[in-house]
A and B are shown apart, each in its own frame.
Chain A
């Protein structure tokens, strides 16, 4: 499985935007970029995914570099409820396996 690299931790203030980076320099042409997050004492939850183009949904936006070697998850207005571990995962088109790294622990300050 192709590997991703994320910062161990990041901090943000409430109601400010948050940009969570992910490097995936060995990404293959058929890998999709998925983001999940895990709130304290809960199972992971899906956030967003994309291939080449930037993506938006009600939770977040995903900005993908033109060479696809990196991506950024954008939370437009962080809330206290967004404090979680965020995982960037490369998923093969034809496979089901999600290979989680250690993720980024996001702290949101009031």
Chain B
């Protein structure tokens, strides 16, 4: 069964350093999402891509976060500089067709970030 791949699975960094997370969606999925999940809370959408274009980045802290999906396949989420409050799980999800009632999002295992 096809899965969403993410790397690294765990990342420890120091405050003010740069970090990057990578996501490879299920083949053929045009829509890709990045979520952030703080411990004890549900995931929160950061950014949504349709192919290589950003559809929704209203919740992305643009002063320090950036996301790209240059060829409309895999994607990178970057934080520069990292802050203590960025410690969280970063989840990537993909879906075949966005915006339909039955759209199912498939999530990867996540990258757990700890900022010291």
Neighbouring B residues of A91 by C-beta, 8 Å = 101, 103
Task: Considering the complex, give the chain B residue whose CB is closest to the CB of A51.
Answer: B101
Task: Considering the complex, give the chain B residue whose CB is closest to the CB of A47.
Answer: B104
Interface secondary structure of B, over-half rule: loop
For residue B37, give the distance in angstroms from its CB to the closest CB of chain A. Answer: 8
Q: How many residues of A contact B (CB 8 A)?
A: 24
Contact for B42 among A45, A94, A97, A100, CB less than 8 A: A100
Of listed B42, B91, B105, residue having the most chain A CB within 10 A: B42
Instruction: Indicate whether A96 sits within 8 Å of B98 (C-beta atoms), given known contacts A42-B109, A43-B109, A43-B110.
Output: yes
CB–CB B42/A103 < 8 A: yes
Interface string of A43-72 (1 = CB under 8 A from B): 111100101000000000000000000000
Neighbouring B residues of A36 by C-beta, 8 Å = 105
CB–CB A43/B98 < 8 A: no
Chain A residues engaging chain B, CB cutoff 8 angstroms: 32, 36, 41-46, 49, 51, 85, 87, 91, 93-103
Task: Considering the complex, give the chain B residue whose CB is closest to the CB of A42.
Answer: B109
Interface secondary structure of A, over-half rule: loop
Q: How many residues of B contact A (CB 8 A)?
A: 28
Interface string of B74-116 (1 = CB under 8 A from A): 0000000000000000010101001111111111111000000
A-B contacts, 19 listed (Cβ < 8 Å): A32-B102, A42-B109, A43-B109, A44-B43, A44-B91, A44-B107, A46-B105, A49-B102, A87-B42, A91-B103, A93-B100, A95-B99, A96-B95, A96-B99, A96-B103, A100-B42, A100-B43, A102-B42, A103-B42
CB–CB A101/B56 < 8 A: no
For residue B21, give the distance in angstroms from its CB to the closest CB of chain A. Answer: 13
Question: Measured between alpha carbons, how far is A5 from B44 in the docked complex, in Å?
Answer: 17
Question: Measured between alpha carbons, how far is A42 from B112 in the docked complex, in Å?
Answer: 11
Neighbouring A residues of B105 by C-beta, 8 Å = 36, 44, 46, 98
Contact for A102 among B31, B40, B48, B93, CB less than 8 A: B40
Neighbouring B residues of A85 by C-beta, 8 Å = 42
Neighbouring B residues of A44 by C-beta, 8 Å = 43, 91, 93, 105, 107
